[in-house]
Structure 1
């Protein structure tokens, strides 16, 4: 209660300079929650700027006020601009991540800043760096949490259609279009409230999912037809993409987003894994159903984490070596995988 009262006074205080940060490789929840929060803070009389560590996928750039988002690593000018904003900020809001290393070069800048720090997130085990910490793993999305905080502030009437579009985008994607197990009654109630602003849910869905480039469409077809391996003895599917293959399909930021989910659409599959070769690491995306926790697996073997049914990881070895590591640990989880009721 004491934290909430101080937070309430901060948001309702005279104009302050806010900077909003979100994680590397921002997804719809990261961008949607950040822009929704930015628009809210502006309505409260504050100045607010969103800074992202790296470029956003093209299918998220339609969101209201996206044109004002600063991409930290875009060029020397944006690096200088970001540093200046963080140095001058009164408040830094950290959205949809729970550890400063997840924002790459922005992390040390945020850490050294004397600004008040606010964390709003729904991932497990947040690092203790914030002055105000709102961390709740029962929230399906940070965007849902943002809406509930605004509502608790008594400011629900300030949420308009542009804000609702941003927040709905985060909620919709982090629940897998309301298919995942994190789709609670509270999620539907939040969406119902947002729809009362005049929100067109069909528009948001099409803007994100029906806006693919020809290259991404062909890449998806290639992965599903040529790169998908089914391991029935482990009820697991895995897919791989090399740097060479990504170049062949002119892959852009965000083109691989969501591909891992297709593995779970197959009958009897409990876990789906996508392994992608990047310049300096192998990135892994894990998805699962029901009670099988990919978070535990990702954390134990791949320096990763996230949610029970949706996690990420990485290695510094080669793609073949990472595949071999994955295959070598599957026997450890075989009993769990075989016993899941799908």
Structure 2
């Protein structure tokens, strides 16, 4: 059985950017020697393709040994360059099977794309001959891949081209959208209008949280923006061969506001900041998934920046929605921020984003605060630095309240990860997970059918009781503790 792998140095360009030629040469020698020694140890044939990419072929027998050691070369590489301003990391896409070399290589490339879309510093492994789920190794640190303005500009150009080839642009976020989903959706609508295209934002107005309902009330004060909102059922009446769907703030089809509307589209684009999981749309026209970004609103704001000019300006109200989206996902700029996050916030403020509106949209009422406090009070330690709060079986909470409870727990001293379990629908239990960076909550949520970010993830579990879900979560956390 043949094994094909592709190795990518995630942040090679960032690291060599400030190096002189001598140190670049030393780094190249270090990496090549390490990969060469690793290949010789397991009798692997490898070839350097370019400065930051390698290709290898192995037999299954030797590869099983690599799996047993959980691809320890990832950790070896990180430990070898600790003196650098940035830690160099690598990702691998690996596939095996009895298929043709072309097929195995194609699956390996897809696996590498998934590893990079999940933030890098990990291996994605999959059998090319079956529908088996991919296996993940590594990913124990925050994503090291940083988007560049060159990539953002290229995405803006690609998006503009796709818009030009279609007449109708539909935009949809995830179920029970938060401010990031709302803000990024209307930001994409502004981009569509820049390109003189019909655009529609799909929202089910009877399936929103109190925060989003407050936002929709404000949107209704702007008729030119409110008229863009369609329900999934109404959208189905307008979808045709010249229509394209833009998914914002999510990349798993099962989380769509309207599954019927999603399935009606042949052409799909994705703008998201959540790590890519196993579930993903087939053959999207454009994939702009950036786990290193704070929010989908930040990504959309940058796309707007590239396409706006004196005649095409983002409406002030939409600028406010985008800024609200960034505020929500960064917890008011306390988490997951980069220099680009602040640049985009500054850009939106300079284009009329109203901070008074932002504060209003993000404010909590007394009832929500009391519910959040009750959840926090029900928390208990599972390990010395991980807490779980499980709500009462009889209470139903909205996602925003559960998220705020998880954030509050994480802000407390000595807590590295917090999990809040709530019933959000009659037959559905949700877990909101947060981490300060020491625990990969995305991997834990994936084990329970969910996903998200390294430090911010969630899952929804149907037809199980609160106690059953709590038991499953605690079992996963104990496995984590045993590994340590």
How much has 1:303 moved relative to structure 2?
A: 0.6
Q: What are the equivalent positions in structure 2 for 1:126-165 lying under 5 Å apart?
A: 126-155=280-309, 158-165=313-320
Q: What are the equivalent positions in structure 2 for 1:25-104 lying under 5 Å apart?
A: 25-52=176-203, 55-60=207-212, 61-62=214-215, 63-64=218-219, 67-68=226-227, 70=229, 72=231, 79-87=232-240, 90-103=243-256
CA contact (8 A) 2:432 2:457 kept: yes
CA separation of 1:192 and 1:120: change in aligned 2, threshold 3 A: same
Three-state SS of the structure 2 residue aligned to 1:283 is: strand
Q: Counterpart of 2:478?
A: 331
Three-state SS of the structure 2 residue aligned to 1:308 is: coil
Q: Counterpart of 1:177?
A: 332
CA separation of 1:102 and 1:252: change in aligned 2, threshold 3 A: closer
Asked if 1:280 corresponds to 2:427, the answer is yes
Deviates more, 1:259-268 or 1:57-66: 57-66
Structure 2 distance, partners of 1:47, 1:314, is 34
CA contact (8 A) 1:260 1:285 kept: yes
Q: Counterpart of 2:161?
A: 9
Length-normalised TM-score, structure 2:
0.60
Asked if 1:319 corresponds to 2:466, the answer is yes
How much has 1:154 moved relative to structure 2?
A: 4.8
Structure 1 distance, partners of 2:390, 2:361, is 27
CA separation of 1:329 and 1:110: change in aligned 2, threshold 3 A: closer
Structure 1 distance, partners of 2:283, 2:393, is 36
Structure 1 distance, partners of 2:315, 2:229, is 23
Q: What are the equivalent positions in structure 2 for 1:89-238 lying under 5 Å apart?
A: 90-103=243-256, 106-114=258-266, 116-125=267-276, 126-155=280-309, 158-180=313-335, 182-209=336-363, 211-212=364-365, 214-225=366-377, 227-231=378-382, 233-238=383-388
How much has 1:218 moved relative to structure 2?
A: 2.5
Q: Counterpart of 2:103?
A: none
CA separation of 1:240 and 1:67: change in aligned 2, threshold 3 A: farther
CA separation of 1:148 and 1:313: change in aligned 2, threshold 3 A: same
CA separation of 1:26 and 1:71: change in aligned 2, threshold 3 A: farther
CA separation of 1:256 and 1:329: change in aligned 2, threshold 3 A: closer
Three-state SS of the structure 1 residue aligned to 2:394 is: helix
1:227-282 alpha-carbon deviations (Å, 9 max, x no partner):
22234x33112112245223xxxx56744342211111221001111111232221
1:109-134 alpha-carbon deviations (Å, 9 max, x no partner):
323334x3221111222443421222
Q: Which runs of 5+ in 1 are unaligned?
A: 73-78, 338-342
Bigger Cα Rg: 2
Three-state SS of the structure 1 residue aligned to 2:433 is: strand
Three-state SS of the structure 2 residue aligned to 1:244 is: coil
Three-state SS of the structure 2 residue aligned to 1:178 is: coil
Structure 2 distance, partners of 1:307, 1:174, is 11
1:170-197 alpha-carbon deviations (Å, 9 max, x no partner):
11111111111x2001100111111112
How much has 1:152 moved relative to structure 2?
A: 2.5
Length-normalised TM-score, structure 1:
0.82
Asked if 1:245 corresponds to 2:391, the answer is no
How much has 1:9 moved relative to structure 2?
A: 3.0
Structure 1 distance, partners of 2:307, 2:247, is 19
What RMSD, in angstroms, separates the aligned Cα atoms of the two structures? Answer: 2.8
CA separation of 1:14 and 1:98: change in aligned 2, threshold 3 A: closer
**Larger RCO (CA under 8 A, 6+ residues apart):** 1
CA separation of 1:100 and 1:89: change in aligned 2, threshold 3 A: farther
CA contact (8 A) 1:273 1:286 kept: yes
CA separation of 1:238 and 1:40: change in aligned 2, threshold 3 A: same
The number of residue pairs the alignment matches comes to 318
Three-state SS of the structure 2 residue aligned to 1:50 is: strand
